[in-house]
Each structure stands twice: as C-alpha cells, then as structure tokens.
Structure 1
C-alpha cells in the first residue's frame, strides 16, 4: 500500500533527528533549541517530543532540558560498556596488587555516581574488604576525587556530608584539593572516609584523551601514610598502561616500583 506524502517515514525521520540531536549534545537541549535546529513547527516539535518522552527515548531534567531517556540507560545496563575496560585493566590491577600488596580499585562514572567495577583484594588481613558492594560519597574517596579534579564530575554547591573530622566538605577546600591532585597527577584521601583509611588514585584516559576511569589503591593509613607519593607514581605509570591499550598504542612504559 502506497504511503501518503509526508506520512509515517517522514515523521520517523524527524523524530530520529530530534533524538540524535539530544543524544549527541554535550548539554541538555531546550525546546527552543530543538525546534530551531530541526526546522519544525512548534506544534509539531511539541507533539514529537511528547511522544518520544512517552516512549522512553527522551526525558527532561530538573531545569526542563531534554536528555536521553530511560531506554538508553536500560540498554547500557544490559550491554555494559565497561566490560571491555575491566578486561583490559585486569592484568594491570593484578600487577599493582603484586607491587603494593594492598587493595586495588577500578572505578567509572555512571551519571553522577562513582561506581567501582573491579577490585583486587589486599594480601593483608587488615584491609581486606569488598568495596564493589559499597556506595561511597565521591568527595570522601580518592577515586571520586579523580573525577572531580579532572573535570568529569561537578562539585555540588550544597554542603557535603562530613564522615570524619578530616572530610573535606566545602567547595573552596575541594577546589584546592583538586588543584593539588592535578599538579602531582593523582588524588589522595587520608582518614576522610574512615579514620585509619588512606586512598590514592590516578586518572585513566581513553581514546581522545577523555577520562574514562580512576585506578586506585587503598589500605590502612598506618601502612600507606609514608608511601603516598611512591604509590601515586606507581598508579600514574599503571594508569598509562591501561590508557595505552584503550587508545590502541603499544605501551612502552617503564615498570613502576612500589
């Protein structure tokens, strides 16, 4: 049966254009921006956006801007994009564990949450804990601080929870801490999540130099306190090895010592 001019296919093409514009945009797009870029009438744009919202392809954030909808998150959850990262990084995590004997972590950013996707357990009884099942506030962990320091995660403007007397909770303090992390190449927490626990983490870059993960080590402050810079430099070296594989480069990085 012949399709009427301007029928279903044309409507699908226009809807696909709206979805594509939102998904490819660096920031949420307003109704006006979408209407202008698509060249559609306001009424047509409104109807299409409403239909795309109902279908889960688009949704609006608190400010009213359009972002990718729940179907995209469902697909991502079922086809985990970090499986390849974990596979590539696992041998490096094992080497860090051998170097340090401490717990080794690999974390990624999902939305505004820092999620640990791999861990190598400490060789010591003191320090063995499965952190993959524990949600940790980003400002209290070295892994979370990596995403803030390298611009992948925004520091909230509201007051942050203070878990210990050493937890940094103000924007000014976190800004200074982030600047120090960028200067030395790795982030640090000492007694900020738990008194007696130290964490160190370095950024891992993917294709195009984009931050894709944080690679870290944690353990008792009594063991790590005097080794922070040594461990940090080791993590920078190991993070570069993971980045080289992700970027399709043969890594010729000198072995780190820790």
Structure 2
C-alpha cells in the first residue's frame, strides 16, 4: 500500500497582475500524471468560469504554452514550457549530476524513500526523488510542491540543521532531513529520507538513518563546494 502525497498548487500572490495570475493558475492546474485536461476539469480545479478560461487559454495557446487536442475542449501543456524548463534545468546541472546517485545509494542502503528539496518561495519543491523498497511508504513525484511550514525538509530549508519530523505533516509519515550547502556555505537544498512513522519511531533505527543521511549530506556539500 502506498500513501499518496498530493502536490500543492501555489496560491495567488497578494499583489500582481490579475490576468497573469489566472493564466499561471491554469498551468499549475496540471499535476504530475496529467496528459490532457478538459475545459470542465480546468474549471473545477481553478474555480474560473469557462468563458474566462477560454479567453486565457487563447493567450496561452498563442504563446505555445498550451496545445489543443483535436476539436474537443481538451488541452495539454505546450512546447514553450519545455524550452523554459530546459533553460531552468541548465542552472541545476551540478545538482543533476550529483544528487540522483546519492538518492539511489540512500534508498538502496536504508530501504526508505530519498528526496532532495529546494525552496520555492513559501513552498518546497521536490527536485529529485528515489523511492524506497518498503511496500508501505509515502509516494511523491519529482516536481511536487509541499508546504514550507511543516516537515523535516521544510525545517531545514528555513534554516535548521539536521531535522526529524514524526507525524507532523501526516500522522502516518515521518522524515529526517539534512542541509546541503554550496560555495560560501549557501544553502542549496535539503537531503531527506522519509517513510512511515512506525519505522522512524524506533530510536535505534532513526539514529542509524540520521547518521547515514548526514554522512551523505556532508559529502555532497563538499562535492558542491560547501
């Protein structure tokens, strides 16, 4: 059994251009696993009137950020977003070269799911993920956004050191996170192990997981110039 963790859609900022905020809300309505969304589903997820959606979608289509599928009122994310994503990914090249191998090693050695989070405003973004092998575990996809006010990785991204969270975000889940730093001690992200509260509740196992995680975080920080 897997315990699903839902991606969180960013809230609209208090200040900004309303039309831009609404257009972004349409793009953020697509969640991991969505290939196409209908007009009705977009209306349900965004809370916008269909007439408003159609006007905004027309602009997004012109910018190639949305592509209509056939003659039906169904859309998928467009190629312009791929180009933007590749540009954003270029800045993450050092992390992409090093972090996935660390996550694979942690997941293989501990059996727990390993993740790497970065801060995105008042949220934390799961940048990389390696699932553990336990049949009961938390399930999360790379690209998911989670709140920054609770959870071990959230505490690290807000300035804490090695952090443990048991049942804080979900009573059935637990996590341990450690900071990863780059040149000049700049915080680059949070390396995290997560699993069930039952497994992490055992003190001996929790301390062993924390030690393994901290070793990897220190080594990764050194490789990244920290």
TM-score interval, normalised by the smaller of the two chains: 0.5 to 0.7
Residue matched to 1:119: 129
Note the C-alpha offset of 1:235: 1.1
Instruction: List gaps (5 residues or longer) in structure 2.
Output: 1-82
Note the C-alpha offset of 1:246: 0.9
Asked whether 1:236 is paired with 2:182, we answer no
Note the C-alpha offset of 1:82: 2.1
Displacement over 6 Å in runs of 4+: 74-77
Larger RCO (CA under 8 A, 6+ residues apart): 2
Count of aligned positions: 141
* Cα deviation digits, residues 116-156 of structure 1 (max 9, x gap): 11000010121051243543211222111101134xxxxxx
Residue matched to 1:245: 223
How is 1:1-258 mapped onto 2 (pairs within 5 angstroms)?
78-80=87-89, 81-150=91-160, 182=161, 186-226=162-202, 227-247=205-225
* Cα deviation digits, residues 8-28 of structure 1 (max 9, x gap): xxxxxxxxxxxxxxxxxxxxx
Task: Provide closer, same or farther for how the CA distance between residues 140 and 148 of structure 1 changes in structure 2, counting only shifts above 3 A.
Answer: same
Is this contact kept in 2: 1:92–1:241, CA < 8 A? Answer: no
Report the aligned-residue RMSD.
2.1
Note the C-alpha offset of 1:76: 8.1
Task: Provide closer, same or farther for how the CA distance between residues 132 and 79 of structure 1 changes in structure 2, counting only shifts above 3 A.
Answer: closer
